[in-house]
């Protein structure tokens, strides 16, 4: 009984202490709030009501009344930057940096925000200068990531590789995929200069960074083709099947040209025919169909198109099936089929698109880096007919 009595006594005592603590916190909060200008609360209210212009005016008034409000300076600078008023954001952050009494961490914060301002304004050299000063501290990793973005925009792939490696040493997630693509970009530049030896070196480094990089394998075939070694080019491009067969449409035409250069076009047509039958790709069918029709006969091409349509019906495949039917049709049926083909081609001329799986950006060409979100290897290597456009 005594124990129960003490427990009953402890409950109101604990409640009393809690009530006293809450009263103290409330008084402290009211005291702090009383020291804030009314313009501060007006600005918060405007922000909550999604009125950024009025919020900025209110916060500017607060800053004038109390220049020591560092956090409010940062908030105001970010608001200006988001609105695209980068010149005003730059002035705010430069004013902060000019203060001799600014703590080290706040100085790093202001320097990072200034770098973001310059980056948003397109002043890449000044952004790089500001961000490179943050080689240590709380903002070092974010600054390095922003530098990586700058180097990608400038297509300075050597600096991008160095920045990516530094990010990894700072504890960022592995960037092997991106580093491998940077080496591929260097290889592509070397190929444009007709420097096959340098391209081969860069591709070796690309595959060291990411052994599964399909682009590096494709480029290895391009290097061999540049050197006139068509057999090695074929070997490289055929390895794409073992890496990721969905990328085969990117090398299908290359394979046919290499086989033709070796006077073995029938072998190439048979290979592409097998790819279409095994993987059922309308993009592969587009490349394979004319070669199969020319080298294996109209009946074989017709059978290939019909099988593809039965497996995965789509408007692009229907065009190829009509091509095959027109070849064997008599008048007046040939005219009817040609009219159908013309209408479908008009309908599908702008439909199939490569689509970024990250941001949804659609493009007629295949990109290894998305023009919309700048992500690497975010495009599926197949064209998609949008459902909404087909309705």
Q: 3-class DSSP state for residue 362?
A: strand
β-strand partners of 356: 379
Ligand-binding annotation for 296, yes or no, is: no
What are the angstrom distances between the C-alpha of 232 and each of 32, 131, 214, 217, 287? 75, 45, 16, 11, 21
Return the residue matching tokens 């998305």.
Answer: 370
Return the residue matching tokens 């603590």.
Answer: 21
β-strand partners of 62: none
Cα gap 92→319, rounded to integer Å: 60
Q: 3-class DSSP state for residue 363?
A: strand
Ligand-binding annotation for 373, yes or no, is: yes
Q: 3-class DSSP state for residue 379?
A: strand
Q: Are 194 and 226 in contact (CB under 8 A)?
A: yes
Q: Are 178 and 151 in contact (CB under 8 A)?
A: no
Cα gap 333→325, rounded to integer Å: 10
Annotated binding residues? 356, 359, 370, 373
Annotated binding residues for Fe cation? 356, 359, 370, 373
């Amino acid at each position: 009984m005594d124990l129960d009595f003490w427990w009953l006594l402890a409950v109101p005592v604990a409640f009393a202490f809690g009530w006293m603590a809450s009263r103290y916190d409330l008084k402290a909060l009211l005291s702090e709030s009383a020291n804030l200008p009314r313009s501060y609360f007006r600005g918060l209210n405007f922000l909550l009501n999604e009125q950024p212009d009025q919020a900025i005016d209110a916060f500017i008034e607060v800053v004038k009344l109390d220049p020591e409000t560092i956090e409010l300076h940062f908030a105001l600078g970010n608001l200006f930057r988001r609105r695209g008023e980068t010149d005003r954001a730059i002035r705010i952050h430069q004013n902060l940096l000019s203060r001799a009494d600014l703590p080290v961490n706040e100085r790093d914060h202001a320097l990072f925000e200034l770098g973001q301002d310059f980056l948003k304004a397109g002043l890449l050299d000044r952004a790089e200068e500001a961000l490179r000063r943050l080689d240590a501290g709380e903002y070092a990793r974010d600054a390095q990531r922003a530098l990586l973005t700058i180097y990608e925009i400038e297509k300075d792939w050597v600096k991008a590789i160095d920045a990516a490696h530094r990010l990894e040493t700072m504890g960022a997630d592995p960037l092997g995929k991106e580093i491998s693509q940077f080496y591929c970009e260097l290889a592509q530049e070397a190929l444009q200069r007709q420097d096959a030896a340098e391209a081969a070196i860069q591709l070796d480094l690309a595959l060291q960074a990411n052994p599964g990089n399909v682009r590096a394998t494709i480029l290895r075939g391009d290097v061999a083709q540049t050197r006139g070694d068509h057999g090695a080019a074929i070997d490289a491009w055929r390895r794409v099947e073992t890496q990721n067969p969905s990328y085969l449409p990117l090398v299908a035409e290359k394979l046919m040209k290499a086989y033709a250069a070796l006077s073995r076009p029938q072998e190439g047509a048979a290979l592409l025919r097998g790819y279409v039958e095994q993987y059922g790709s309308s993009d592969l069918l587009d490349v394979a169909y004319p070669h199969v029709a020319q080298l294996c006969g109209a009946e074989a091409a017709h059978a290939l198109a019909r099988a593809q349509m039965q497996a995965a019906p789509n408007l692009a495949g229907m065009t190829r099936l009509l091509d095959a039917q027109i070849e064997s049709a008599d008048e007046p049926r040939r005219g009817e089929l040609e009219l159908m083909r013309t209408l479908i081609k008009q309908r599908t001329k702008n439909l199939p698109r490569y689509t970024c799986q990250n941001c949804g950006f659609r493009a007629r060409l295949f990109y290894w880096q998305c023009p919309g979100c700048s992500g690497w290897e975010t495009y599926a290597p197949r064209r998609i007919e949008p459902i909404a456009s087909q309705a």
